[in-house]
Amino acid sequence: VDRPRVLSGIQPTADSFHLGNYLGALRNWVQLQETHDAYYMVVDLHAITAGHDPAVLRQRTRVSAAQLLALGLDPEQCTLFVQSQVPEHAQLAWVLGCITGFGEASRMTQFKDKSLKQGAERASVGLFTYPILQAADILLYQANLVPVGEDQRQHLELTRDLAQRFASQFGPAFTLPEPYILKGTAKITDLQDPTAKMSKSASTPAGIIELLDPPNVSAKKIRSAVTDTGREIIYAPAEKPGISNLLTIYSALSGRTMEDLVAAYDGKGYGDLKKDLAEVVAEFVAPIQEATRGYLADPAQLDKQLAIGAEKARAVAAQTLRTVYERVGF
């Protein structure tokens, strides 16, 4: 049975994934491995575009992989690997870079946003060519589907353009990937600024619930979450973004419907909701934290798992690169 191939990656740029990552992406990864031929990677090559500490990166790559396993990614059911362990990513990125226009790359809005933060002069060429590496990540595996959020749409368009351009110049080598709109994902907002998304790069620590936060820490963050001055516990994202965000997290983690929750909290206060949500979060993360600790306690075994994943990934990547090199004239 040929299941559609899906590919996704996540950066090892934090000590823990947060609830936004989980409810917006990773929860779906776990589900997709059952119905799709899923390739998931920790994209460490992408994590060095803005300066980094080598020891921290190495540790975060391991912690990221351990969390993915703890969340339920099963190496028997999907291919889980670390990007830098498959050298074909960088090799294909070079070839694709040579058929990408400078102007075309300059139009990528995410570079514009991120380089503004770093300062246009200081932004690295790696940050500039990041979307080309992303195109290589996708095309190497002949992925049919790529889960993308709004912020990544433009990069997938570039990927498709490059695949088609390569085919017209040198002959077919790639599957044309389609965007895959994830069902049942939720956008989680910053606890301190409920109109902004919860984000490891933009939020303050108090605005983010990390999967690896100890229960007293997440409880404190939830207690201090910004809410409006009203009293009613209803789901109304525009008028009550803070309360609605807490309800979204509650519903997603407990499996209770929004209607059920709103009915259950009728006549109760924000404090009751926050106290109960803290318990729901603590209960949800406890087994994930324990499993993560378990994977991290045996680094040799974890590295072995990742090496097996990289070998599986490489078998596919190497085949694509052979075709590409051959077509290009190497």
21 annotated ligand binder:
yes
Q: Which stretch binds ligand ADP (CB under 6 A): 64-72, 196-204, 245-253, 276-284?
A: 196-204
How many other C-beta atoms are found inside a 10 Å radius of the C-beta of residue 51?
Answer: 8
Active site residue 274: no
**Active-site residue, selected from the candidate residues 112, 183, 187, 197:** 197
Scan for tokens 């009751």, then name that residue.
Answer: 272
Q: Which of 187, 223, 312, 314 binds ligand ADP (CB under 6 A)?
A: 187
End-to-end Cα spacing for the chain: 34
Q: Does residue number 199 form part of the binding site for ligand ADP (CB under 6 A)?
A: yes
Active site residue 220: no
Q: How far apart are CA 189 and CA 198, in angstroms?
A: 4
136 Cβ contact list (under 8 Å, min separation 6): 88, 89, 90, 92, 93, 96
Kindly write out the interface string for residues 5-24 of this chain, putting x where it contacts ligand ADP by CB under 6 A and - elsewhere: -----xx--------xx-xx
In angstroms, the Cα distances linking 268 to 224, 228, 241, 275 are 18, 15, 18, 12
Active site residue 197: yes
Q: Does residue number 241 form part of the binding site for ligand ADP (CB under 6 A)?
A: no
Token pair for 242 = 């803070």
137 annotated ligand binder:
yes
Q: Does residue number 133 form part of the binding site for ligand ADP (CB under 6 A)?
A: no
At 18 the three-state DSSP class reads: strand
Give me the residues paired with residue 6 across strands: 38, 145
Q: Which stretch binds ligand ADP (CB under 6 A): 42-50, 79-87, 195-203, 321-329?
A: 195-203
**Which residues does the annotation mark as catalytic?**
114, 197, 200
Where along the sequence are the contacts to ligand ADP (CB under 6 A)? 10-11, 20-21, 23-25, 149, 187-188, 197-201
The binding site for ATP consists of 11-13, 20-21, 149-151, 188, 197-201
